[in-house]
Amino acid sequence: MAKKTTKSEVVEEEIIETTEEEILVENRAILTDAVAPETTEESVEETVDPEPIPEPEVRHSFSFKHPKRDLVFIPGTGGNFFATMIYHKMQHQYVGNMEYNPKINEYSVSQNMSQLLINGDSRNNVCGAIRSIPLRLERMRDYIVKLQEVRNTNEFDWMVDDMNTILSVAHRLTVNDLHYIAFSDFLISKNNDNFTLQQELEVMGPNNVGEFYDNLHDLFYHHLNAHSFPYMTDICHVPYHVNTFKPKGMPITNYSYGVIVAHEQILYTTTLMKTKHLLRKKSIKDDDVSTIRGFIEKHLNSEFAAYEFINEGIIQEMYTTNAANKNYATLFFYRDMIIEQNEDYWAKFYEFYGFKEYFWLNKSLIMDTVAEYHQKNIELMLNFCTKREIEFMIDPMKRIRGLK
């Protein structure tokens, strides 16, 4: 028989059920508060995800917008004469930037010649690059100031002044404000025997060196293009990629250079350079003559001394000009070009710099100029040495090998 439920028990069950429901609601509210705390108008804050920190850009190459073909040579190998021959077609347009001294048969070409030929499109692009990030030019200026301090010189103050002028109007820079900054002058003269590339790297630090020359490339050299010439051509003793510390193995596009190589004739070209330096003097003393005669006789009287000088000179020349770099370098040997006056090599030379047709139309005039240049050099050297000595220096390996 079922148990009869009393009225009091029914009321108790209702109370229990109600209490359980209330507890569940209360617990749910507590749980919700814990997960999503109560917010008010005063405490609402917009949550913004932080911007990701960009990874530093890894550089894989350098480029030039327009083809660049430089002329590289060590002092004494007639580099200015070769430069004049490149500009042969344009000489009448640039009188004053190319000069000739008949007393010493010496040609000279302004190192900033290429900077004078930069066209308007190049200048516009340079202006745009500077306006975009003026800080890069500012850091370049600071680098040159510091470089002068460590070298104890002020020879580049003119460049610092020009850079300060540009920086003063950097954000609204126009072509009219952009005086050419002859970085070619800077690159060819910033290093010498007393301050080498290695010393620059050591005293300035690899990071500062890398930043400066990256900025130099990106702001200026990347954009440069010359009017009147097929290629942008700088005249230098050290190739652009070496002189601006480009990492080995990193490709540079639209870039190559011709090297005037003295090679076995380096004893001859060195003596010729000493001769011209001596003849520049207003008065030549006996000691000056004794010095150059001592240099000649030392190597003429000893095959071993001659071989040592030539061998060390060849190694240094190849290192300085990076002539073994087949990716960029095209070699033009002094013997082929000046001593033997080989037409085929001169044709190759003019073709390399974009004037092949001009060479063949003016071959006789060009080759006569080369022959005259060489003959006058011989005449200068005869002031201090004999014809027999000159012949030995022109072909020293024949004598060294015992072939009189």
Is residue 194 located within the same domain as residue 310? no
pLDDT of residue 211: 97
User: Domain of 192?
Assistant: 118-225
pLDDT of residue 177: 82
Q: Which residues contact 154 (CB under 8 A, 6 or more apart)?
A: 148
pLDDT of residue 49: 58
pLDDT of residue 52: 59
The residue with tokens 């749980």 is 31
Is residue 346 located within the same domain as residue 247? yes
Of 109, 114, 110, 103, residue with least CA distance to 85:
109
Rounded Cα distance between 141 and 161, Å, is 9
Is residue 88 located within the same domain as residue 127? no
Is residue 374 located within the same domain as residue 274? yes
pLDDT of residue 50: 56
Per-residue pLDDT of the chain (404 residues; tens, 9 = 90+): 444 444 444 444 443 344 444 444 444 443 344 334 444 444 444 555 555 545 546 788 999 999 999 999 999 999 999 999 988 877 666 656 788 999 999 998 877 777 777 888 898 999 999 999 999 999 999 999 999 999 999 999 999 999 999 999 998 998 888 776 788 889 988 988 889 999 999 999 999 999 999 999 999 999 999 887 899 999 999 999 999 999 998 999 999 999 999 999 999 999 999 999 999 998 999 999 999 999 999 999 998 999 999 999 999 999 999 999 999 999 999 999 999 999 999 999 999 999 999 999 999 999 999 999 999 999 999 999 999 999 999 999 887 776 45
**pTM for the full predicted model:** 0.83
How are the residues of the chain apportioned to helix, strand and coil, as percentages rounded to the nearest 5?
60, 10, 30
Is residue 219 located within the same domain as residue 235? no
- Is 32 inside any structural domain? no
CATH code: domain of residue 280: 3.40.50
Final residue belonging to a domain, choices 225, 241, 266: 225
Per the structure block, which two tokens stand in for 67?
């083809």
Q: How many domains does the chain have?
A: 2
Is residue 366 located within the same domain as residue 330? yes
φ/ψ of 323, rounded to 5, equals -65, -20
Final residue belonging to a domain, choices 205, 225, 245: 225
Is residue 237 located within the same domain as residue 100? yes
Final residue belonging to a domain, choices 225, 251, 283: 225
pLDDT of residue 88: 80
- Is 350 inside any structural domain? yes
